[in-house]
Amino acid sequence: MKWGMFGLGLVVGFLFCFILLNFIVTPQINIIFSPEDGHEIIDLIDSAQESIDIEMYVFTSRDAIEALERAKNRGVDIRIIIERNVISGQNAEAYNELNAKGIQTRYASRVYELTHSKIIIIDGKKVLVGSHNLSNSALYKNREASVVLIDVPSVKIFIENYEKDWILAS
């Protein structure tokens, strides 16, 4: 009888551990170098199921705009903050086009001299941060480097700061 209860306890314990391990998320860090891996940033946008939050210095990439439009059509919530004071007003076209497509796009707050961030947050779980702007040069021509943090505790810090910047943006 004692072994029966002990054996049952072992089985239940192993099942509990097995189930728990299947729900534990393993943090990952992926590295993206352009020009060879620039397409992975578009793939990251295409992977979104729930939300995309972007804070970007230069946003001129047609591929990125099209990926965001696909995401919107999938029902993904999208918010974008872009810098107003980019040379030659490069971001104005993306700003106008994205807003016309119903994608919430704001100019970065003037609280800061510049918003030079290059951050993409996907589904509140993945963050791309690095040197990549959303421009054809950054994605496909320049030597750029960024990391994608997946289920890493610091993702929360990026989300908190994005929320502050979104409130300040106009």
Query: Is the predicted pLDDT of residue 15 greater than 70, yes or no?
Result: no
For residue range 19-47, list pLDDT tens digits in order.
544 556 688 999 999 999 999 999 999 99
CB neighbour class for 134 (10 Å; exposed up to 12, middle 13-18, buried from 19): buried
Beta bridge partners of 82: 56, 107
> 136 is written with which tokens?
């054809």
For residue 135, what are the contacts with CB-CB under 8 A and spacing of at least 6? 58, 59, 60, 61
- The residue with tokens 């872009």 is 82
Which pLDDT band holds residue 85 (cuts at 50, 70, 90)?
Answer: confident
Question: What top-level class would CATH report for the domain 28-168?
Answer: alpha beta
Greatest mean pLDDT among 5-14, 84-93, 132-141 lies in 132-141
Q: What is the pTM of this model?
A: 0.85
CA dihedral 19, 23, 26, 27 (to 10 degrees): -160
Q: What 3-state DSSP class applies to 86?
A: coil
